[in-house]
Chain A
Amino acid sequence: MRDASPAKTYALHIGVIVLLFALNFVLPDYHQGLFARIMALAVFAMGYNLLFGYVGLLSLGHAMFFSAGLYGAGLTVYHLGWGVPEAFLAGVACGALLALVIGLLALRTSGVAFMIVTMMFAQVFYLMILYFAGWTGGDQGLVIQQASRVIAIGGVSLDLTNPTVRYMGALALFSVVLLTTLALVRSRFGRVLVAIRENEERTKMLGYDTVANKLIAVVASGVICAASGAAYALLFGYVGSNFASIQYSILPLLWVLLGGAATTLGPFIGTLFMYYVTDITSGFTSAYLLIVGVALILLVLFAPKGIMGSIRERWLGWLP
């Protein structure tokens, strides 16, 4: 957040993106697939972080924005035969619209009530997916065929089922969202959001329209989460109701807390860490959720600021 080092900050973020680009050629097949998934879901975490980390609004319903994107993209491809770019935009548009409506309603509350209201709206969304199982496939979900996951640009056709194309697709979205959030939180708007988190009354007194700023943040967060969902549907070819369940509202919270709330790279680090802890421990024991639970408690006891938050506190004060 220090203005003294914008060059250093941008260099770090671009360095991360370049590193991820290079990893595509080094990683074994299995880890390449895992990284693509992690990057797509890290976008979800970044969208969550925008609201939770910077505005301080704890939502327990972000699964609905993710799955709005997921179903917005998945259903238009599946039922209407739309192409990949149009479907992606449809998913993002669904997320934006939903976030606007939810934001207008839920922002009338604050604190614990905000958590519960968002959780309940997400539950309604989840139940509606089950209720309209004829179109959504219910809890079985729908598989999007390989043929409908090809982008044709000019003479070149990009097949999203190809591991490298998929990796690059996920990386492209990840990079755009990472740099956008970085620019966003460094902007005037980003500072107003932090001011709202620290002291809403005072921010209001200084003449900022806190409600409008919060609404913009909810919509921006919803759009990013929906983009993640839409990309997930198109890259991995599956939409299912479990992505709308409460578990998927809790996961981004975990990733963000693990990586460090209100840090730009924290959501990615948290997602990466969580995925690999789960992956490694599930090799030893079927009871990996136990280890995840223990890890969570230990983290919150001994590193409450998350990985990037602790690094920023101890060593690198300039980290955004």
Chain B
Amino acid sequence: MPGRAEGGASRIRSRVMHFGPHLLLAALEGLVTSAVLALTALGLSLVFGVMRIVNVAHGEFFMLGAVLAWAVSTAISGHPAVGFVAALVIAPSLVGLVAFLAEWLVLRRLNYNPESTIVATIGMLYIIQQLALTFYGPEARPVEPPFSYRILLPWFGYSGYKLSVVAASAILLVITWLVLTRTKIGLIMRATQYDRETAQAFGIPVERVYAGVFAIGAMLAAIAAVLIVPISQAHYLMGQDPLLLSFIVVIIGGLGSLRGTVVAAVLIGLSDGIISMFFSPTLAKIIATLVVAMVLVFRPQGLFGTAPR
């Protein structure tokens, strides 16, 4: 942080001079966090909204996506973009398959009882984490970004890849929104979310919808992880933070509100980026978590959600 080491008047002046660009940099970093967070949280929100279960293993699907992205991109030689695109297709598909099997073998048999599914997903968390540790190892490993173009701003250069992550995330969010509101699949999902039994009575295969939603939720987390892994490395414990942040986003945004989820993700990501640029990251997290907890206490339906039915 320039300005910290200098003293007296020059320090004040340099802070003033640097404040604008600094804020811009912090905002950009926060926007990248927001983009990834929005996708991850959307996955959690879908599962939470449609199936009414809390998926504690959601962060592990995120981690699995990142680890598989590393595996795929190192297995494929040639230009990094080829490996990256392959990872972007293969890793989420595999994660979706794992989630589908988990839903089919475990959650369905529990009849989606909220408490039992929490314990079962905690079990999945342990299993996935341990398998990643055994087969992938405790190291953090990077994935090469598909391109290394830097955008030159007047004050600093900024990674073009990071901005493309924001764009990719925005496109995916729009696609999800279109699917949910404009297609028959979306209609079926919303019907199941609104009233499971009536939906079943109208011939909607509720079990298949649930399996699909669980897989799609995990795939969204995996896509987010593949996008972020060229920026932050793949590690077997990387699922913890996204899990907590996604919970926060889903709650703040309001259950089942796509718009709320996106707005909350931007809010949380930006404030995290900006606060941790100017204060200690730990203090930033303490303040952010406390504020969010208070929002929850005094406005439990979230900022954008409607009161629970």
Contact = CB atoms under 8 A, between A and B. Distances in A.
A113 B295 CA distance: 11
A119 to B, nearest CB: 7
A254 B122 CA distance: 9
- Find the residue from B110, B115, B251, B293 having the highest chain A CB count within 10 A: B293
A109 B292 CA distance: 13
Contacts of A131: 280, 282-283, 286
Contact of A113 (B129, B244, B300): B300
A109 B129 contact: no
B124 interface: yes
Contacts of A109: 296-297, 300
A293 interface: yes
B282 A130 contact: yes
A127 B106 contact: no
Given A113-B251, A290-B126, A300 B134 contact: no
Interface residues on A, range: 35 or more
A293 B285 CA distance: 30
Interface residues on B, range: 35 or more
B297 A300 contact: no
Contact of B244 (A123, A289, A296): A123
Nearest to A245: B240
A291 to B, nearest CB: 9
Contacts, number: 112
B115 to A, nearest CB: 7
B265 to A, nearest CB: 16
Contacts of B298: 108
Contacts of B240: 246
Interface in A242-257: 246, 250, 253-254, 257
A297 B124 contact: yes
B-side interface mostly: helix
- Find the residue from B129, B131, B282 having the highest chain A CB count within 10 A: B282
A106 B297 contact: yes
Contact of B110 (A130, A250, A301): A301
Contact of B119 (A120, A130, A300): A300
Contact of A115 (B54, B120, B244): B54
Contacts of B130: 287, 289-290, 293
B247 A116 contact: yes
Contacts of A128: 286
Contact of A301 (B106, B124, B289): B106
Contacts of A120: 248, 289-290, 292-293, 296
Nearest to B296: A117
Given A254-B119, A295-B123, 16 more contacts: A105-B293, A123-B285, A124-B286, A124-B290, A127-B285, A246-B240, A250-B122, A253-B122, A257-B115, A289-B130, A293-B125, A297-B106, A297-B127, A300-B110, A301-B120, A304-B116
Interface of A: 58, 105-106, 108-110, 112-113, 115-117, 119-121, 123-124, 127-128, 130-131, 246, 250, 253-254, 257, 286-287, 289-290, 292-297, 299-301, 304
